[in-house]
Chains A and B, each alone.
Chain A
């Protein structure tokens, strides 16, 4: 260890031991210098200064280093006062006043704010109030001492007090908040401190000028100092309030920014922002993942390169519609750099400022590739399964008559061939039977045609409900019969019940309901399906009910059954499309398809506008 380091170590030890005393000494020096500075501008007499930064400095010292600093402050105050020519007792008294002032402020303020009852703004108001009181202590002690020692005449008491009080108050007003900020927050306050000191110097200069040139020439105006105090303190208060609001707004903004970030960065949905002219300014990770582009590649017009070439036109068209005030909502495709296609559904809306001016656009993009492919698979499989169902149905319906025709033809051949003699009676019967059976097949084929033909574009015509029911029954009667499901048909003659529409389409709906009813009764001991017709002549409505002996539709799925792809049947046997398509057909006919829960059995009803019949033949 060298001598130097030994010395510095020793010094450090001394410093540590006498640290507190050193601070007291420091307080003495600082206070003394500040007080001398204040006294330089004393206006009323040598002691009362209209600007007294020493009060602020004293309070700051106590805030930072504790009440112990009061010793230094007292010493500084004493020395500076004594040098103005006061005697020792008077200097001591005034110094006590100065010291008490600072101690009082710090203790009162710390105590009042210890319970965190006040926000920043209220704390500032409280601080100003306490400062008014503490400056009063110093001013009162000082003025009394000066009066007793006859430094001032009784006439000057009030003016002296006001100047003293105002000087101390203003001196603290701009310094104490800085000290508190330093103490409470570890923030970049040097700039703020500089600014505050500058402001203090400015105010101090102003006060000195006003006092020297206005109050000095016209002492009665000295009371105006009070207004100066009020104005300056309210400025300080307002500033705190503005700061508080600004801080709150900043806090809120920061929080919103954090939330936005968390939301967009974790969202599985692609999110983008553009400016007013559609130049992209932001895309979230989900978007970049979806498109395979980097976010910087998406900026400006870069996002358009993610669009599938075939959908480019569509998206641009929709985007232009959005710009002209319509909503943007469409399904389109992205193509990734690796060539894979992503199906998405996108929404966008304009962002507006307070004046309702569009500032940009916000959009979301959801990847629906899986859903889309699933739907295609379901649609294909349901088409296949309904095709299979239909094929087996047709085969069933046609194989029996074919067997008959084939057999009968063979029979004819036999009764004609061997002898040359023909039993015309037998031959006639057989030929008739063949013809009837051929007609039976023709009827089935006709029924099928009405299904395969796309009738959706055909104009509606006056039709009989009877025909629609007949077509539907033709394609399912056999199935019901063979499975022992009783078909209960309407007793009312329906020949005169007309509607405007397509009997083929209505029969599709009915066939669908009948097939559902058939499936519902399959596992039941008692199997029946009933068709009923009801006419509401008052409202001109025609109702056809299809009910069955099945277990019924559970209430919780009653609203779902009309949704596309909803099915309760086992995989492969139902398409889940029947009722939704049927509902569409009924809507086209200005009619309704609904579950009539007022009936005791499962009852589906179709309702059509009744066309007024020409003839009045009604039979029941």
Chain B
């Protein structure tokens, strides 16, 4: 089941990207990478992702811009979560452009993975409940 979940990881810090990617992949997720918001959005326009994990402050298009662009997409949209430094944005603010969660740095990759697993499960339950109806 997890193999089908496609995640786009947007982060300008290469080591963090590698790290998170390693952990997610070892848990069976399919992970794609982007170094900034604009590159990420280009990928999103041509590929279907279930989840976008994005840093907020990045050169070449930040996370907020990316989230806003995603919100304006037609049809099925990926879920967006932020990984962020210090007080860049508050959760209620982020919620306004569809970001469901903010994970503050520093975080343990395990915690991130567990959160995503839980999130995916709840979404899947909801999806299957919807189809049941």
User: B1 at the A/B interface (Cβ < 8 Å)?
Assistant: no
Stretch at the interface among A14-22, A29-37, A167-175, A401-409: A401-409
Closest to A433 in B: B15
| From B13, B57, B104, B110, contact of A410 by CB (8 A) | B110
Contacts of A433 in B (CB 8 A): 15
- Name the distance in Å between B103's Cβ and chain A's nearest Cβ: 10
Contacts of B85 in A (CB 8 A): 395-396, 399-400
User: B20 at the A/B interface (Cβ < 8 Å)?
Assistant: yes
Tell me if B19 and A411 are in contact (CB < 8 A): yes
Tell me if B86 and A400 are in contact (CB < 8 A): no
B: contact size bracket: 20 to 34
A: contact size bracket: 20 to 34
| From A399, A406, A411, A482, contact of B22 by CB (8 A) | A411
| From A403, A414, A484, contact of B105 by CB (8 A) | A403
User: B58 at the A/B interface (Cβ < 8 Å)?
Assistant: yes
- Name the distance in Å between A606's Cβ and chain B's nearest Cβ: 28
Q: How far is the CA of A138 from the CA of B32 in the complex (A)?
A: 135
Tell me if B106 and A402 are in contact (CB < 8 A): yes
Residue-wise, chain B 84-114 has the 8 Å CB interface mask toward A (1 for contact) of 0111000000000000000011111110000
Tell me if B86 and A407 are in contact (CB < 8 A): no
Tell me if A392 and B87 are in contact (CB < 8 A): yes
User: B75 at the A/B interface (Cβ < 8 Å)?
Assistant: no
Using known A-B contacts A392-B86, A410-B110, A437-B15, determine if residue A481 contacts B59 with beta carbons closer than 8 Å: yes
Q: How far is the CA of A24 from the CA of B95 in the complex (A)?
A: 115
Q: How far is the CA of A103 from the CA of B106 in the complex (A)?
A: 118
Closest to A405 in B: B106
Q: How far is the CA of A400 from the CA of B15 in the complex (A)?
A: 9
Contacts of B58 in A (CB 8 A): 482
Tell me if A395 and B106 are in contact (CB < 8 A): no
Q: How far is the CA of A404 from the CA of B85 in the complex (A)?
A: 13
User: B16 at the A/B interface (Cβ < 8 Å)?
Assistant: yes
Tell me if B59 and A403 are in contact (CB < 8 A): no
Residue-wise, chain A 365-403 has the 8 Å CB interface mask toward B (1 for contact) of 000000000000000000000000001100110011011
User: A483 at the A/B interface (Cβ < 8 Å)?
Assistant: yes
Chain A contacts with B in 448-462, Cβ cutoff 8 A? none
Q: How far is the CA of A419 from the CA of B87 in the complex (A)?
A: 40
Tell me if A408 and B87 are in contact (CB < 8 A): no
In the complex, 10 of the A-B residue pairs with CB atoms within 8 angstroms, ordered by the A residue number, are: A399-B86, A400-B13, A400-B16, A403-B19, A403-B106, A404-B19, A410-B108, A437-B15, A482-B58, A482-B62
B positions within 8 Å CB-CB of A = 12-13, 15-16, 19-20, 22-23, 26, 57-60, 62, 85-87, 104-110
A positions within 8 Å CB-CB of B = 391-392, 395-396, 399-400, 402-408, 410-411, 414, 433, 437, 481-484
> Apart from A399-B106, A405-B106, A410-B108, what are 11 other A-B pairs with CB-CB below 8 Å?
A392-B86, A395-B85, A400-B13, A400-B16, A403-B19, A404-B15, A407-B20, A408-B15, A411-B109, A482-B59, A483-B57
